[in-house]
Amino acid sequence: MTDTQTNYDKLYINGAWVASTSTETIQVIDSVTEGVMATIPSGTAADVDAAVKAAAAAFESWANTPREERAKYLTRIGDALGARMDEIATAISKETGMAKWLSQMVQVGLPINSFNTAASLAENYEFTETIGSSLVVREPIGVVACITPWNYPLHQIAAKVAYAMAAGCTVVLKPSEVAPVDAFILADIINEVGLPAGVFNLVSGHGTVVGEAMSLHPAVDMVSFTGSTRAGKRVMQAGAETIKKIALELGGKSANVLLADLDTAGFSKAVADGVGKAFLNSGQTCSALTRMLVPRDRLAEAEAIAGATAEAMVVGDPFAAGIHLGPLASAAQRDRVQGYIQKGIDEGAKLVAGGLGAPEGLDVGFYVRPTVFSGVTPEMTIAQEEIFGPVLSILPYDTEDDAVRIANGVVYGLAGGVWSASKEHAQAVALRLRTGQVEVNGGAFNPNAPFGGYKQSGIGREYGRFGIEEFLEIKSLQL
């Protein structure tokens, strides 16, 4: 045991820290040192049942709590997260490998925004409207099971929990067992601000046990899940047993289309920006722009810029100064990414930068070399499957229609990018992409705009007004 190891031995159910019905625990591994940084309870179906019953018992009272009161609780949670930003960012950087300076802005800053935005919506959203002779009422759906991933752990928790509670729902959260420490800190904050018992409940454990029990539980009205497409399919199948509402935010294989009208400076900017967008959080980003589509006659130009940009990225300890990329979150993820790099080599893609093995001098920690492939064809595995690591595929195209066809030629549709000398031209091509979000000429991420996918990237939208509406049922009163 290290001096920094934290052992969480209780779950948070019905406003109190309680022991799990199981004595089994799960080790949380530090991505930098490969040592154990924490242990958490391995929850059971019985724990889920207790949490769901608590949430169901609390629902009516919370749904009828004045919206101003709900907003106050959410604001207090956001403020408390801000007060513990350094502690939370440190934990998440150990869990996921993201550079600490970036964790503060992204991994904690975005969740604070979600709680504050949800608070504003709780107060100001129009829950009723008149349509002809009908009063249309939007009401909270009920008990929401929130199942969240490890790559942006608190961000994805906030996207569900904050907006569900703003809508008047009660929640049961299962965080990823790979990155759960931030969820326990959030539960501690929620306990401290005095949120009514049962409104928020935390059950940690494995997805095959806890997530499965949540998805099957008859008193759960909705499941909001973020994770792999494979696991999302299982959540949907299990939820169908009781006709639950299911919201899914799944994988991505997003295309970044660089159009032929870019001049040399514009093309160089677009390529360099695209490498950064592919490698954010060491590529552990579902919306990462992992396929760069370039005109065939500019392939060599793209290779040179992308290769130099990748080679210039500093990989290392996420707590050290000047670091761009830290390790991946787990040994399993590192090995998975190495397998895809080998697959790219085996299938004949041109290795421009990076490759197999760890960066020099980084033998401890789950590090991967930032890797760029070129000459990738649409049918190659690395052009079709989500890798979830710092691996960029550059694909040549011949015409604009060809580029759109290639961009849309995957089962996913989460994000994308288009670059052009003309904003109008870029926007026109962006409208042809079958995907939930598109960056136009490097447009910045908007945490209050709807986020979600087409096709096998998911169902539903998160954040802002669309985020609260996901957790509402619609009733018509015919007057």
pLDDT digits (tens, 9 = 90+) for 304-321: 999 999 999 999 999 999
11-13 sheet: strands from edge to edge: 16-18, 11-13, 200-202, 170-174, 143-147, 222-226, 245-249, 458-459
Q: How far is residue 187's CA from residue 210's CA, in Å, rounded to a whole number? A: 17
**Please, which pLDDT band fits residue 463 given cuts at 50, 70 and 90?**
very high
For residue 2, pLDDT beyond 80? no
Element (H, E) at 227: none
**Residues contacting residue 414 through CB under 8 Å, at least 6 positions apart:** 249, 250, 251, 252, 254, 286, 287, 435, 436, 437, 452, 453, 454, 457, 458
Say if residue 83 is exposed, middle or buried (CB neighbours under 10 Å; 0-12, 13-18, 19+). exposed
Question: What would the pLDDT profile of 366-377 be if each residue is shown by its tens digit?
Answer: 999 999 999 999
Query: pLDDT band at 5, cuts 50/70/90?
Result: confident
Q: Catalytic site residues? A: 249, 286
Q: What is the mean pLDDT of the chain?
A: 97
What is the pLDDT at residue 244?
96
Residue 475, token pair as written in the block: 């009733």
82 touches 300 (CB < 8 A): no
User: How do the domains of the chain map onto residue ranges?
Assistant: 6-250+457-478, 255-447
Distance CA 237, CA 355 (A): 38
- Residue 444: how many other CB atoms lie within 10 Å: 6
Q: Is 318 helix (H, G, I), strand (E, B) or coil?
A: coil
Separation between Cα atoms, residue 405 and residue 400, nearest integer Å: 9
* CATH 3.40.309.10 for domain 255-447: yes
State percent of the chain over pLDDT 70.
99
Please name the residue that has the structure tokens 């009660």: 170
Rounded to whole angstroms, the Cα distance separating 463 from 374 reads 35
The pLDDT assigned to 225 comes to 98
Give residue 17's pLDDT: 98
If pLDDT is split at 50, 70 and 90, which confidence band does 4 have?
confident
Q: pTM for the complete prediction?
A: 0.96
Within 13 Å, how many C-alpha atoms sit on residue 398's CB side? Answer: 3
d(CA 121, CA 472): 13
Segment 100-112, tens digit of pLDDT: 999 999 999 999 9
Distance between CA atoms of 236 and 215, rounded to whole angstroms? 8
Q: Report, at the CATH architecture level, how domain 6-250+457-478 is classified.
A: 3-Layer(aba) Sandwich (3.40)
Q: What are the φ/ψ torsions at residue 350 (nearest 5 degrees)?
A: -85, 120
Summarize pLDDT for 63-92 with one digit per residue, the tens: 999 999 999 999 999 999 999 999 999 999
Give yes or no for a contact between 52 and 214, defined as CB atoms under 8 angstroms apart.
yes
Distances in Å between the Cα of 193 and the Cα atoms of 164, 190, 344, 452 are 18, 5, 50, 31
271-308 pLDDT tens trace: 999 999 999 999 999 999 999 999 999 999 999 999 99
For 227-250, what is the mean pLDDT?
Answer: 96
Q: What share of the chain is helix, strand, coil (3-state, %, to 5)?
A: 45, 20, 35
Say what the pLDDT of residue 1 is.
Answer: 32
Three-state SS across 165-197?
HHHCCEEEEECCCCCCHHHHHHHHHHHHHCCCC
The predicted model gives 453-465 an average pLDDT of: 96
